[in-house]
Structure 1
């Protein structure tokens, strides 16, 4: 059985989850803008590299805590 982590969920159209399948990490990002995107990573450092680029600090000006919570949740997976 796979372990699923909810990173954030604002509603049923905007969420980010991570499924752990052995050593593989599957990130599913659902947004009302882009639909569902699925990313597969073979290591946590690879996933964190993606996360640092996906959730850039300049996109969260005034919402730094929100970004910190997302990054922390991903690190805790």
Structure 2
């Protein structure tokens, strides 16, 4: 059974989805700049490590609410 989580979706070209496929966590990041990137993780701690590197809190000093929303969405995976 695959469980899909939409982390954010600004439009059809800017979104992140996460699918839990058995023991794998597959993250798809689609952006209008880079196209689609796919990352596969074997554990939630590995996913969260990637998330903390990809979305450092220091880059969201002007918008901490958005950062908290992202972290909450990832933690619910």
> TM-score w.r.t. structure 2 length?
0.95
Identify unmatched segments of 5+ residues in structure 1: none
Q: Which moved more, 1:30-39 or 1:56-65?
A: 56-65
2-structure distance, mates of 1:68, 1:53: 15
Aligned-residue offset at 1:61: 2.3
Aligned-residue offset at 1:64: 1.0
2-structure distance, mates of 1:37, 1:61: 26
For the aligned residue pairs, the C-alpha RMSD in angstroms reads 0.8
Equivalenced residue count is 77
2-structure distance, mates of 1:31, 1:63: 20
Structure 1 runs of 4+ aligned residues shifted over 6 Å read none
2-structure distance, mates of 1:3, 1:72: 17
Q: Indicate the SS of the match to 2:48.
A: helix
Q: Which moved more, 1:44-53 or 1:64-73?
A: 64-73
Q: Indicate the SS of the match to 1:29.
A: strand
1-structure distance, mates of 2:52, 2:21: 22
